[in-house]
Amino acid sequence: MPAGEGLYAERTALAWRRTILAIATGTAIAGRYLGAGSTWLGVVLPLAALVGGGILLALTTRRLHALSDALNTPAQAGRRVPMPTARVLAVLAAACLVIGVGAAAFILGA
What pLDDT is stored for residue 4 in this prediction?
A: 56
Q: Pick 84 or 36 by higher pLDDT.
A: 36
Chain Cα centroid distance, residue 9:
16
Residue 93 clears pLDDT 60, i.e. is over it:
yes
The C-alpha angle 99, 32, 40, rounded to 5 degrees, equals 105
Domain ranges of the chain: 8-82
Percent of the chain scoring above 90 in pLDDT: 0
What pLDDT is stored for residue 1 in this prediction?
A: 47
Helices 39-72 and 8-34: angle between axes, nearest 10 degrees? 170
Residue type, 57: L
Residue 42 clears pLDDT 60, i.e. is over it:
yes
Confidence tier at 92 by pLDDT (50, 70, 90): confident
